[in-house]
Amino acid sequence: MDSLVPEELQRFNAPHRMRRINRPSSFYGKQMPEYRPAPGGLALYKVRPALITQVSDKIDIELEGGTSKRVRPKDITLLHPGPLRSLGELDPPPGDVTEAWELLEEGETHLEELAELVFGEYSPASAWAAWRLLDEGLYFEGTPGAIRARSEAQIRHDREERERKQAAQREWDAFLQRLGAGQLFEEDHRRLIEVERLALNQSTASRIMQALGRQENPENAHRMLVDVGYWSADHNPHPRRQGAPLEDPRQEVPPLPEEPRLDLTALPAFAIDDAGSDDPDDAISLDGERIWVHVADVAALVTPDSPLDLEARGRGANLYLPEGIVHMLPPAITGQLGLGLQEVSPALSIGFCLDEAVSPYDILIRPSRIRASRHTYEEIEGRMDEAPFATLKRLAQAYRGRRDAAGAAHIDLPEVSVRVREGQILIKPLERLESRRMVTEAMLMAGEAVARYALENGIALPFASQPAPEAPRRPEGMAAMYAYRRQMRPSQSKTLEAPHAGLGLAAYTRATSPLRRYLDLVTHQQLRAYLRELPPMPVSEIAARIGVSDAASGGIRRAERLSNTHWKMLYLQRNPAWEGEAVVVECNDNRATVIIPELALETRVRLRDKAYPDQRLRLAVREVDPADLSAWFRVLESLPKGG
């Protein structure tokens, strides 16, 4: 039976076999003698040895390390009456565990008898050693007054289990050593999945982080994964943290159904977008006094509650990351319906004229065929004096003037395009081009026209609205615009029309990006149902879709915002000598909130002197922490006004 003795119990075995203790059969099974606690006795307090020093109504005990306590009699178990002078006298005497176990043959005994069987004596040291055998629970189980010898099968099972745990602990300790040294094996990566889940905000705890003594939060987990090479230094965790999908949908795309379409192919249509855009879903035409805004006819393929519709609803919108685009709909739909990607494109065309008050009237909405050409804003900017752009520019300026008079907000804070191409981070400020303003105003006209059309014809739609700020005013300067933006309340989608204060429109719906935004697609589905004289979705269905889409698209927008900041931080980290200009937008004693225009980055800096709004500073980067999306700068100088 020596093979059953685990390493942790071998300390109780003498280096030689003890002689068998022969006792009469009447000895076994007797109850343990009752001893009264007295000074010098050995007691068990919780799981620790205690020396009884004084007995009164309560019992004074001394614990290892010299700590004294006063306890109730029921708080301790007497192991030996003594005398014991010091807990330092409890070194276990030599003994033979297996022989004692064999003698008991799965019978019962008590602590005094077990001490004599194993160690040949009943002393404070042997009593404590016997208790430790009982507490370890391999050969014996029970209480000091009723100890049972366990079966051979139980012992073998537990020994194997303990050996397995010991091996696992050795593996764990070796892993932590490799982790600390940054020399991981390939198989170690599976262990780091728990840290990755913490870094992605999918869990709140990590055994590895605990073992390393690091606070368990996504930022610390992010740093650790980068430090050990599990993540690359530029890994972007924010889309997954927000639960955003990272792959395009894979559903099959049906063919475009045959149906009557208004032939507008003779009318030049211009699909104008940023360079590199691959999902053109709107174009503009001018037909005399009538403006046409053509929109990709996505609802012709994506019908309500179809698999494609359900997928788009769950995503809410395209995810635009510096690394690339994750589409709301299968890319094959863009290839089939994107305006200008085919010689002739199907569209849902929104036509209207502007009256003397510059409001849309004589509104026509038709499925159509168009012949669109693709252009960039920069290209059209050089053609703004040509037809039809000169007329469209004049109408756009008049429409904007009408919105301004209604209190529309125009917050001209810096914006940038952040792109990652072949590992290079490209940050480009967005120019305030007249061509961009023209297209924006045309899309707003179309949204107002569709809202009016729906109200006149009783079509339920997801209308977009925005409450007015508490103190509406026309901001001048970057600091005033920053303060005004903070007053603006978020826009909302509702089934009832309401003013959109930010746009200066009494009724508005988003209708020009059904390839990119789900609620635009819902608007198109409703319009097509009305035009085909089919039952449109009731208000309750629209409300339900708004709820699902808002929840999904909210995560998409956060993922985009955080991802842009992530790559800006990496840009600064890769350019430690960066210097640039900043504008003070908020002051607080010797600290200021500033915006760095070339990065469209908001940050805080410490100043020696009190700052003033719109003060210009020159900054240098001091430290960057991509995991925390934080950068710290030092102020090099204060620049003169207008300089």
Residue 603 contacts residue 585 (beta carbons within 8 Å): no
| pLDDT bracket for residue 347 (50, 70, 90) | very high
Give, for 481, the enclosing helix (H) or strand (E).
Answer: helix 478-487
Average pLDDT on 319-342 reads: 95
Q: What is the pLDDT of residue 10?
A: 47
Q: At what angle do helices 307-315 and 539-574 cross, to 10 degrees?
A: 50
DSSP readout, 314-332? HH-B-EEETTEEE-SS-HH
Q: Where are the domains of the chain?
A: 2-150, 163-231, 262-557, 575-639
Integer Cα distance of 605 and 593 in angstroms? 7
Residue of 206, 600, 627, 229 lying closest to 430 (CA atoms): 600
Residue 404 contacts residue 410 (beta carbons within 8 Å): yes
Task: Give residue-wise pLDDT tens across range 431-485.
Answer: 889 999 999 999 999 999 999 999 999 999 999 999 988 766 667 889 989 988 8
Integer Cα distance of 103 and 107 in angstroms? 9
SS3 content of the chain, % helix, strand, coil (to 5): 35, 25, 35
Task: Give residue-wise pLDDT tens across range 512-561.
Answer: 999 999 999 999 999 999 999 999 999 999 999 999 999 999 999 999 99
**307 in the Ramachandran plot: left (φ > 0), alpha (ψ -120 to 50) or beta?**
alpha
Q: What is the pLDDT of residue 30?
A: 56
- Mean pLDDT of all residues belonging to the chain: 91
Q: What is the pLDDT of residue 21?
A: 39
Q: What is the pLDDT of residue 446?
A: 98
The SS3 call for residue 272 is strand
Q: What is the pLDDT of residue 29?
A: 47
Average pLDDT on 147-161 reads: 93
Q: And the tokens for 79?
A: 């192991």
Q: What is the pLDDT of residue 26?
A: 39
Second-level CATH architecture of 575-639: Beta Barrel (2.40)
Provide CATH code, domain 163-231. 1.10.10.10
Q: What is the pTM of this model?
A: 0.81
